[in-house]
Amino acid sequence: MKRFFVVIPKYDGGFSIHPMKKWLRQYPEYVPEGLDAAISTSHQLRNGLKKKAWIVRDLSDRVFLIEPHIDASLLDPILKKETGTEDNSEKQYVNNAKQSNVSCLAKYGFVEVGKWVLDQRLRFGIRFILSSLEDIRVIYAFVVADTVKYIGICDNFSTTLKNRMNRYQNMIGAGTNERIAKLIRKHLDEGQEVKIYAFKPDINLQYQSLTIDLIKGLENPLIQKEKPEWNIQG
């Protein structure tokens, strides 16, 4: 009989392996709609996670479900070594690749403006606190353990930092907003602090009669340069 595991990213850039049903009971917000970690079969849970874009690695004696934003190709050699072992315990792996430290943000002009906290009164249980720039359109970053995890922008000219954080807090929209909100919640549940940094470019650029949107123009170069773990590269 095959055993089922989930592969989850860690705050240090590594990943951990957990028995699937046990982990889903601990984090019910990840359970696919219409299923129950306590009574649904492992195959039903696997199929449900697969529909939510989790990556499936079906090996000879076990099945790994990998969170969508993890580069599964990097894990394959390790997962194959797991095959045939009798150890069903949770395992931790460290990513030795260089990660972008929070100090890199300062050179671009980012400053710490807030943080995320747990709040069980809210539907998804997370709440943002901002101390500055809340009513400004900015480029923002989420930082865990002094490591830059995500870089994003207030996409529209009328979108403020407060507006943008509200989408994560209230799970407005699917896709990226939901994925990032779950990662924030996961790290807060693990006792990690999730800080918010922001940067407002103070230079106005024009090309002939056209105004250049520097916030949108800087987003991809920053992501390509710093390679935050939570940003999915197409």
Where does the pLDDT of residue 132 fall: very low under 50, low under 70, confident under 90, or very high at 90 and above?
very high
Q: Is residue 232 within 8 Å of residue 146, measured between CB atoms? A: no
Which CATH number, 1.10.630.10, 3.40.190.10, 3.40.1440.40, 3.50.50.60, labels domain 103-226? 3.40.1440.40
Tokens matching residue 56: 């499936």
Note the pTM of the prediction, 2 decimals.
Answer: 0.59
What does pLDDT average to over the chain?
84
What ranges do the domains of the chain cover? Answer: 3-93, 103-226
Gyration radius from the chain CA atoms = 19
Residue 97: per-residue pLDDT: 44
Residues 39-77 have pLDDT tens digits of 999 999 999 999 988 999 888 888 998 887 666 666 666
